[in-house]
Structure 1
Amino acid sequence: MSLPEEDLTCPICYDIFTDPVLLSCSHSFCRSCLKRCWETGLRECSVCRKRASKASPPTNLALRNVCEALLQARRTSAVVEEKMNCNVHGEKLKLFCLVDKQPICVVCQTSKLHKSHDCSPIDEAVLDCKEELALSLKNLHHKEDSLKRIHMTSADMFKYIKSQSLETQRRIKGHFEQLHQDLYREESARIAAVKKEEDEKIAGMKDKMKELSAEVLSLTETISVIQEQLNEDDLILLKNFKATQDREKSIALGSDNMSGILIDVTKHLCNLEYKVWEKMLDHIDYTPVTLDPNTAHPCIILSDDLTSLHYSKEHSCCPDNTERFHISAEVVGMAALGSGSHHWVVETGSNQDWLLGVASSSVSRNSEVSARPENGFWTLCFRDGEFRAMTSPPTAVKPTRVPKQVKVQLDYDKGTVSFFDPADDALIHAFTHTFTETLLPYFYTQSSHPLKIIPEKVLVTMLRQ
């Protein structure tokens, strides 16, 4: 229980005790006050006149602690009172400037600095600012969760990049085993390139994870600051509000764009044999389209040479990277097609459920959309024994026979995507459109029977002068 202030007052100086001492009669005095009294007279109590038994009475520790606590409370109150007053005019802070986001006095409101600004009473401003800070805190927690999720995804990328590198090296070796021993140096150079890219990708991921860790730390510190501000006195919260809010707004969520983070498998495997044709004496096959495994849905299985695909009910273990199709069983070729004419032939064989054609480079890969022109797709569909051109709505087409191969031909400049039966070059269907962005070869299937891109023969002709 706290004592009344008069019980904490020295009977001699009538002020709060300073270093109080306790006499045998149970009366207390400031040590310095008692010393002055005893220097001018008898050594007795100034209240009851009872003679003191000791020349140096003991300190009243309990009383001293209570007095020091009272003085500290007074100092704190004075500081708080000072903070509640305007630094410029000395008036009590009763208003909050909604423009400058700081507490002001009534004199400030009429000054040129705030005259045209909207203001609100302190009590209303405290509620509004607390509500706004609570929303900021919620947003920061959301950003923190997002950063942690990105951090976990980034950690998973390490293992996949390593396995990708090993698998790519295995495939490269498989290709080079078919070549003459004279190509050994070429093989070694390409494996070195994969390892170098692996090191670069992993180094990039380490930098990304360091950056994410730093952002998580900064975010945690800002959350701690806001939580401390919410526990501060109202005026202190308002004084620091703008700085606290600016700090929260300055924190930008780390980018979750993982585009290009995986090893560019196609760079090492695309048309590998064709790229070394100058070292070969015989003709080699050339595949006009190479599938990009970094875009394949987890249910799409690609062949080692990236020219064939089929559907599997079991998901493959692959990361959730930006380029990958996440909803439907799709994959695209790695080469973006722009101006000029392009074609490739796909062997459909026994596959009874497929879509072939082209897709815009910017098509959505994380949502379910129909493969139609308005969504950036120009495709031919074969399902339930029927052909349909995927227009809006789909158009039924009836070729004279069910082809085992389908030729896709794009003339970008003329704005046409055509589908033919390569056996007799009969047209199945043609789209007409004015293209405004690059296109990618597009494939979809939910069949375990493969779709295979047919290689083309390359004829090397030597010109002699």
Structure 2
Amino acid sequence: MSTTNQDKCFLHNQKRNSFCHNDEVLVCLICQQSKEHKVHVCCPVEEAAEQKKTEISACLESLKKKLKVLMNTKEQWEEIKTYIQTQACETDTGIKEEFKKLHQFLKEEENTRLQALKQEEETKTQIMCKKLENIEEQINTLSSTISDIETALKAQDIQLLQDYKKTKKRLQCSIGEPEVIRDILINSAKHLGLLSFQIWKKMEDIVRCVPVVLDPNTAQFNLELSEELSCVQYSSKKLLPNNTERLINRVSVLGATGFTSGKHSWTVDVGQGKDWYIGVALDSIQRKNTIFLSPAEGFWVIGLSNGDSLWAQTTPRSKLPMKEKPNRITVELDYDRGKVIFINAADSTKIHTFKDKFTEKVFPYFSPGLCKDVQNASPLTICPQIIKVKVE
């Protein structure tokens, strides 16, 4: 390689054949022996270039991994954006079906609710468009940086080392991990849950009211929910986004409303299912990873196993006495006193009582269990309350 002006030291007009690691600059032999660099760590250009290539390559791999995370997140967000529109369409249909059961004088109420749904769809779609726009910008920026650094790595040693500071600065990527998006899906529970009850003042003779509404945004992929979100059963797998709220570690779904105080109760018709679990769970439960149903994991539930044995999911689990399988079980939550009581609704006898201390929001929990024959899957149904002038 011929010596150019760039290769020579501006102070001593000598070839710069060493690299000072302390100052990260090229130096000549005289510079290396000078007071300024004498105590510094220096090495030949070829050796330094090889070291810096290794250093830059390691950082570059980190950037590439970050780009892969961004690309995967973008793909997931694209799916969520598409599903928001699909979900909005399905919710729209559900609302319309509900209103078909009512008389024409409720049309104004129907239009009001559809408008609210449309506004939520537009708002959340706009949010996702903005977030996708932002992540696209991050991807473009990171892709451009990676491309420039890869180009810099292909340069000759002298050029690479001259540009090292600038290249190193570009490696200091300020793009963080993609944010976790919560509550971005259509709030179907708000639009569909208790819809009839909310207009009960006008139609109290024909409405049904359940104390707990299921949240479809938490339902595992194999669960089918009824239109009024009061019944759940095992079904064929559905193409749903793996959003933050969704439970995928067990075939289960949460209630739409959580509790942080007071007394609450609901009765569940457990049907003829051979494996099911009902009770309450904390908002902070593991929703994606493998977990055990126990208070230590944030679950206070009982369940039927193999169709013949009833268990309280304690640690270890406790087998409960059972003369005959209960058909309807009432779950009573006393948040302030830390109690979850399970009662056989047929004769009001207590099945089991959990005692604990709650420090965060607690949600109703339902798991209808697996079923090989999907057509004969038995549902868990939240029983309607008796409606009078007010709900008791």
Show CA shifts across 1:183-212 (max 9, x none).
111100101111111111222222122112
Shift of 1:109: 8.6
CA distance in structure 1 between the partners assigned to 2:256 and 2:116 by the alignment: 19
8 Å contact 1:86–1:92 — kept in the other structure? no
Give CA-to-partner distance per residue, 1:254-310, whole Å, 9 cap, x none.
515232221111111121122223334547432111111111111111111111111
- 1:96 corresponds to which residue? 20
Q: Hey, what does 1:453 align to over in structure 2?
A: 382
| Alignment correspondent of 1:350 | 272
Q: Does 1:218 align with 2:141?
A: yes
Check conservation: 1:389, 1:397, Cα contact below 8 A.
yes
* 2:54 is the alignment partner of 1:131: yes
**Alignment partner of 1:380 is 2:302:** yes
Map 1:206-285 onto structure 2 (within 5 A).
206-253=129-176, 255=178, 257-280=180-203, 282=205, 284-285=207-208
Cα deviations across residues 144-203 of structure 1 (Å, max 9, x unaligned)? Answer: 222222222223333322221111111111212222322111100101111111111222
Greater mean alpha carbon deviation, residues 320-329 or residues 348-357: 320-329
**TM-score normalised by the chain length of structure 1:** 0.74
Q: CA deviation at 1:348?
A: 0.3
Amino acid aligned to 2:213: T
How far apart are the structure 1 equivalents of 2:34 and 2:87? Answer: 66
Q: 1:130 to 1:331 in 2, by over 3 A?
A: same
Which residue is 2:96 aligned to?
A: 173
- Which of 289, 307, 328 is the aligned partner of 2:212? 289
User: Is the contact between residue 342 and residue 352 of structure 2 (CA under 8 Å) also seen in structure 1?
Assistant: yes
TM-score (norm 2): 0.87
Q: What amino acid sits opposite 2:18 in the alignment?
A: K
- What pairs up with 1:324-363 in 2 under 5 angstroms? 324-363=246-285
Q: Secondary structure at the match of 1:379?
A: strand
Moved over 6 A (4+): 86-91
Residue of structure 2 equivalent to 1:79? 5
Q: Counterparts of 1:176-195 in structure 2 under 5 Å?
A: 176-195=99-118
AA in 1 matched with 2:135: L
Cα deviations by residue, 1:49-99 (Å, 9 ceiling, x for unpaired): xxxxxxxxxxxxxxxxxxxxxxxx98xx433224xx37899994734345x
Q: CA–CA distance in 1 between the matches of 2:189 and 2:158?
A: 62
User: Which blocks of at least 5 consecutive residues in structure 2 are unaligned?
Assistant: 372-376
In structure 2, what is the equivalent of residue 149 of structure 1? 72
Q: Quick one: structure 1 residues 104 and 377, their matched pair in 2 at CA, closer, same or farther if it must change by over 3 Å? A: farther
| One-letter amino acid matched to 1:191 | L
AA paired with 1:351?
G
Distance 1:440 1:90 in 2: 76
What is the distance in 2 between the residues matched to 1:202 and 1:290? 25
CA contact (8 A) 2:220 2:252 kept: yes
Alpha-carbon shift at residue 370 of structure 1 (Å): 1.0
Offset from partner CA, 1:356-401 (integer Å, 9 cap, x none): 1111111111111111122111111211110111111111111343
In 2, distance between residues paired with 1:108 and 1:255? 49
SS at 1:342 equivalent: strand
Write the mapping of 1:291-306 to structure 2, written as runs, cut at 5 A.
291-306=214-229
Q: Specify the SS of the correspondent of 1:388.
A: strand
Judge conservation of contact 2:342–2:351 (CA < 8 Å) in 1: yes
Percentage of matched positions with identical amino acids: 32
RMSD: 2.8
Greater mean alpha carbon deviation, residues 253-262 or residues 171-180:
253-262
Note closer, same or farther for the CA distance 1:159–1:93 as it changes in structure 2 (3 Å cut): same
Structure 2 contact 249–291 (Cα < 8 Å) conserved: no
User: Which moved further from structure 2: 251-260 or 403-412?
Assistant: 251-260
Check whether the contact 1:348–1:450 (CA below 8 A) recurs between aligned residues.
Answer: yes
Task: Give the paired residue count.
Answer: 380
Distance 1:409 1:79, change over 3 A: farther
Distance 1:124 1:166, change over 3 A: same
User: 3-state SS of the aligned residue for 1:298?
Assistant: coil
Q: Which amino acid aligns with 1:411?
A: D
Runs of 5+ unmatched residues, structure 1: 1-72
1:429 aligns with 2:358: no
Letter matched to residue 381 of structure 1: G
Q: 1:129 to 1:171 in 2, by over 3 A?
A: same
- AA at the equivalent of 2:284: S
Determine the C-alpha separation between the residues in 1 that align with 2:180 and 2:122.
20
The residue type equivalent to 2:200 in the other structure is: W
Q: Distance in 2 between matches of 1:104 and 1:420?
A: 84
**Residues 273 and 233 of structure 1, relative CA distance in 2, 3 Å threshold:** same
Instruction: Select the structure of larger CA radius of gyration.
Output: 1
Q: Distance in 2 between matches of 1:339 and 1:88?
A: 80
